[in-house]
Amino acid sequence: MNFNHIVVQNILRDKSTYISYFLSSVFSILVFLMFSITAFHPMMSELDTTSTLGVTMVLASFFIYIFSIVFIIYSLFAFLKKKTKTLGTFMMVGASMKQIRKIVFRENMIIAGVAIITAIVCGLIIAPLFLMVAKKILRAEIFDMYVPIQAILITIVLFSLLFLIVTKLMTRMIKNEEIVQLLKADITQEKLIKPAPIKLILSIIVSVFLLFSMMKELNWVDPSGIISYIALFISLLLAIYFTVTQGMLLAIRLWQKHPSYFRKTNMLFVSNLKANGRSHAHIIYLLTVLLLGAFISTSVLYSSYYSVEEKTEGLYPYSFQYTSYPGNESEARKDIAFIEESLDRAGNYEAYYSGFKTDEDRRIAFMSVSNFNQLGQHKPITLNDNEYFVAAGQEGVSPDKESIHDYPFGNLEFTGIEKRNILTSQLQNVYYIVPDEVYETIEYPDYKIFAYELDDWTNKVHVAKTILSKITTEPDIRLMASKIELYEAEKFVKSIMFFIGFMLSLIFMSAAMSILYFYLQTSLEREREKFSGIRKVGYSIKELTSVVTKELATLIFIPFTIAAFILFATLLGMHNHISLVFYQLTAMGLGIFLLLFIISFFFIRRGYLNKLVN
């Protein structure tokens, strides 16, 4: 029997140990391949890689690959931990450390090669269906199947290097002393959680301070600097970690003092929880972080996907807005005739004719109250001879109420403000609405506005294409803006962002379930022996089932609860910037996740109990 035959036979004899590591590797590769097939689709070639969306796609690919590295390293750790007895057996029959490392290396490279091939084959099978879903999400007319040679080559190269480097480094970490210690792990008691109230309090104080500083934009914080965000991220991770570990320690101590501790199987459950408290706390922490990432990816990107219409109308209030510069009267008449002729064929619409005068150097506009009332996206107002009204010129920027006093219009008094854009965002910095008599005395250039609001405008893309194909913006002559065109562009961007969020959410959720699966698998043998001994004491299978059910519920639903609480606490802290629809969609997403978790809980419970008590 040669060396390679030993490696192959070792894999075949212990298939249950290798299958979980193999499947997790296949999943990581498959997710990256699917994302790459989308990212390298010919339709995406038109995407500017320097744009925000292009950078997001690149960062998402990088993030997925980095996550795959971490996930595969964790899977390999769990795999090696479960293979400890096998490695120890090789040592006892005379195998050297060099030979053991060679066995582990070759086993992992065989699994890696088969996993890469399996992932690519599965990817090519499901790619057409995946692209159909992507086509629906991205609202793309052409997003058909193609031969993803580039995506396959990148996947093969990156993951071959990943497995080669990770496996080489991991095998170097295997030492005689560690294997001996791990062989004794079944009889070695796990370390208990140490009280660390000071670390918990400090981590929370630092996190709150950093978060408050960034929200209030204090002087020492650089809003565009990445250091502040990294510091906040690390402090939050530490705060969550100490909250979970110290919370579990506190819960165990309180339960031990509670009268219910001696009822039914509670004493056994709490004692088992205490014995496994450290490892349980680490798993709960990992699952909490992963679920929080899944929740954030889903709620933020899913909600932004469904707020495009509202944000578009905030930037461009009208379906079409034609702004004519001074001296463009004859050309404007031809353009308006074409626009209205096209709109007549499209359906019902409302037309608004207005105008304003502007200080072009400061981009401060003045509009008569009559012209303001002719626009249809706000309530009409009335002004006395000594009053003025202020309207926003840029989305998200509070208009300046005092600059009008820099002009010789007399002692006008402020009477009100319209914070929504009355015309296309950034056309002017601010609009001062003044009485008609005052407006007539202003000698700045006069701009004409022709605005149109089309019924069911979100479904009138063809109308926008027809009009904008002939009438476009020309500097110093005319400005042409359409919220229909902006809506389609933003919808496409948000669709891709939603797609990225969906992929990240899928990764986080699957990683959480895989980590839980690995944890249960690596502790299965130890728990089986422990519960076998407990049954000899007199506990029934029904009672042991109750204990296991409580323990699994703790591992599954406590991370979900903590992650959901953190998410909603964050959203409540940002309630001034979040709409009710955002909360509703977030709650809906969490409800779907909860349903999936409940279903997963029953499947995991059934499979674990079958292996544990049989």
Q: What is the mean pLDDT of each run of 10 residues along the chain (614 residues)?
A: 58 64 79 78 62 61 71 70 63 66 78 89 84 67 73 88 80 58 51 81 85 64 62 85 89 84 80 81 87 79 69 86 87 90 87 90 91 85 90 84 86 88 87 91 90 87 88 86 86 74 76 78 76 74 83 89 85 66 76 86 84 71
Tokens standing for residue 392? 């926003």
Q: What is the 3-state secondary structure (H, E, C) of 169-202?
A: HHHHCCCHHHHHHHHCHHHCCCCCCCCCHHHHHH
Supply the pLDDT for residue 140: 58
Amino acid 82: pLDDT: 64
Residues near 298 by Cβ (< 8 Å), separated by ≥ 6? 501, 502, 505, 589, 593
Residues 6+ apart with CB under 8 A from 227: none
Evaluate whether 86 touches 47 at the Cβ level (below 8 Å). Answer: no
Tell me the backbone φ, ψ of residue 209, rounded to 5 degrees. Answer: -65, -45
Q: What is the separation, in whole angstroms, between the first and last Cα of the chain?
A: 35
What is the layout of strands, in order, in the sheet containing 446-454?
413-421, 387-392, 430-434, 364-368, 349-359, 446-454, 320-324, 478-481
Rounded to two decimals, the pTM is 0.71
In 3D, which of 596, 515, 583 has the Cα closest to residue 28? 515
Beta strands per DSSP E along 160-285? none
What's the pLDDT score for residue 15? 63
DSSP 22-48: HHHHHHHHHHHHHHHHHHT-GGGGGS-
Of 200, 207, 301, which Cα lies nearest the Cα of 569?
207
**Domain locations along the chain:** 1-189, 317-481
Q: Which residue, among 73, 72, 66, 61, has the nearest Cα to 151 in the 3D structure?
A: 61
Amino acid making up residue 294: A
The pLDDT, as a whole number, for residue 52 is 55
Percent helix, strand, coil in the chain (nearest 5)?
70, 10, 20
pLDDT value of residue 187 = 46
Looking at the DSSP bridge assignments, the partners of residue 247 are none
The residue written with tokens 């008094």 in the block is 413
Looking at the chain, the number of H-run helices and the number of E-run strands are 20, 8
Q: What is residue 380's predicted lDDT score, i.e. its pLDDT?
A: 86
Q: Is 478 helix (H, G, I), strand (E, B) or coil?
A: strand
What is the per-residue pLDDT for 426? 83
